Amino acid sequence: MTLLDSFSLAYRTIRSNKLRTGITVAIIAFGIMALIGIITAIDAMNGSLRDSFSTMGANGFTISYKERFRFGNDNQTEKVEKNKKQKKSNLDKPIQLSEAELFKSTFNYPALVSIALGGPGGTEIRYKSKKTNPNVRVSGGDENYLQVNGFSVEAGRNLNRLDVQTGRNVCLLGSDVATKLFSETNKARAVDKVINVAGVPYRVIGVLKSKGSSALLRADNVIITSYNNVRRMGNSSPSFTLGIMANDVQLLNGAVSEATSVFRGIRRLTPGEDENFVAEKSDKLAETFISLLGSIQGAAGAIGLITLIGAAIGLMNIMLVAVNERTREVGLIKALGGKRRNIRQQFLFESTIISLLGAFFGIVFGVLLGNVASLIFKSGFVVPWGWVITGVLICSGVGLLAGLWPAIKASKLNPITALRYE
């Protein structure tokens, strides 16, 4: 009996027991589907997070008076409590307009500086009878705000210094807002129109190109005006933010160090005092969230492996039952000259084929299920090839281990006793 004969016999046996094979394949497929599906969804979320938070590119960073997101203990506060020389007046101190403008005028480095102020985030915009949902974000900036934050003008013009200095009611519409109020094909018509922003008339001076909004951050659902205009609005941020974009990514670390040094002087911090502001690179938030998703990825792997262990036990039991059912068949093969290794090969082939069928269906359905997240987060079709290969290897191992004991047991059967078995 050749190796091909053993494989062919194993395959025919699997086909003849469709119900038992189907149940076993489904158990294994469920474990692989859970593993691959969650990993695929996490990869989709990772891509969306990078696109959402890295709006300034690899050569940008911001200076704010505190971190936008904090996880765990506030280490800076703990340091301050230990350092008795730290001035209480410097703690949690918002960045004032005078400080932001002084930094912009004194920061001598090959970089572009922008001053920004966050406005209300749940604003309704109206134009005649049309209106948006009350979820439009209002942002205030200066003439450099668009470039530093990765926006570009599709129609109309950018803010100029006079707009910023006077704080007059002019604005630029994000792509989603312009589409909602003026339709996709007529967004350019928005220029010079007067819209209503939370009950206040604003003249539209420009429409922004789409940045490709995601489910995590709708970057196009925004209107941008000057920071002096936002100052007059209610619910605006208590602190200004500085956006800095180095001329080259190679200069980024130097720009962060120089900006920190300059802003320490503006904040009047002595050499012994900690910074009461935070310089964050544009991809820091994405990395923070991605590190958190890494723990979820580990949990997903554990869930998948536990399911596969259960599937392996089930497959072993089924193969042991198959040995008892086919005792006479084993005796006949041995009587016709079949050797122990031929019997072992046949049962190992059966368990491995069943396991790999489970891997195939589990990977296919897992990738499809995981890419539902890609559709939600608009991050493109994702296939975690590393985990796909790992899944195939794991299922191959599961099939071999689950079939090993039944194969050994079958190969040790006495041919005379097996032939007489009822």
pLDDT, tens only, 101-134: 999 999 999 999 999 999 998 899 999 999 999 9
pLDDT of residue 101: 95
Residues 148 and 64: their CA atoms lie apart, in Å, by 15
Angle, helices 340-377 vs 385-411, to 10°: value is 160
Asked if pLDDT for residue 141 goes beyond 60, the answer is yes
Burial zone of 110 (CB within 10 Å; 0-12 exposed, 13-18 middle, 19+ buried): exposed
- In sequence order, the 6+-apart residues with CB closer than 8 A to the CB of 375 are none
421, two tokens: 């078995």
Kindly state whether residues 377 and 413 are assigned to the same domain: yes
Residues 34 and 303: their CA atoms lie apart, in Å, by 8
Kindly state whether residues 294 and 411 are assigned to the same domain: yes
pLDDT of residue 243: 93
Angle, helices 3-16 vs 340-377, to 10°: value is 60
Query: Residue 49 — pLDDT band, cuts 50, 70, 90?
Result: low
Kindly state whether residues 299 and 411 are assigned to the same domain: yes
pLDDT of residue 264: 93
Residue 33 covered by a domain: yes
Residue 21 covered by a domain: yes
pTM: 0.60
Residues 76 and 66: their CA atoms lie apart, in Å, by 10
- Give the domain range for residue 138: 120-236
Number of domains observed in the structure of the chain: 3
Q: Which 8-state DSSP code applies to residue 111?
A: E
Residue 241 covered by a domain: no
Average of per-residue pLDDT values in the chain: 81
Kindly state whether residues 105 and 253 are assigned to the same domain: yes
The residue among 294 and 394 whose pLDDT is bigger is: 394
Q: Give CA separation, 240 vs 92, 237, 323, 326, in Å.
A: 13, 7, 75, 78
Kindly state whether residues 157 and 105 are assigned to the same domain: no
Helices (H) and strands (E) in the chain, counts: 14, 12
Kindly state whether residues 25 and 127 are assigned to the same domain: no
**How do beta strands 170-173 and 200-208 pair?**
parallel
Kindly state whether residues 327 and 396 are assigned to the same domain: yes
Residue 343 covered by a domain: yes
- In sequence order, the 6+-apart residues with CB closer than 8 A to the CB of 48 are 214, 215, 216, 377, 378, 379
Kindly state whether residues 107 and 251 are assigned to the same domain: yes
Kindly state whether residues 150 and 230 are assigned to the same domain: yes
The residue among 20 and 125 whose pLDDT is bigger is: 125
- Report phi then psi at 138, rounded to 5: -105, 125
DSSP per-residue codes, 13-47: HHHH-HHHHHHHHHHHHHHHHHHHHHHHHHHHHHH
Residue 401 covered by a domain: yes
Question: What's the rounded mean pLDDT across residues 232-246?
Answer: 90
Residue 242 covered by a domain: no
Burial zone of 50 (CB within 10 Å; 0-12 exposed, 13-18 middle, 19+ buried): middle
Q: Among candidates 382, 298, 300, 369, which has minimal Cα distance to 51?
A: 382
Largest CA distance in the chain: 103
105, two tokens: 């005028």
Kindly state whether residues 411 and 331 are assigned to the same domain: yes
Kindly state whether residues 215 and 293 are assigned to the same domain: no
DSSP per-residue codes, 293-362: HHHHHHHHHHHHHHHHHHHHHHHHHHHHHHHHHTHHHHHHHHHTT--HHHHHHHHHHHHHHHHHHHHHHH
Residue 400 covered by a domain: yes
Kindly state whether residues 194 and 224 are assigned to the same domain: yes
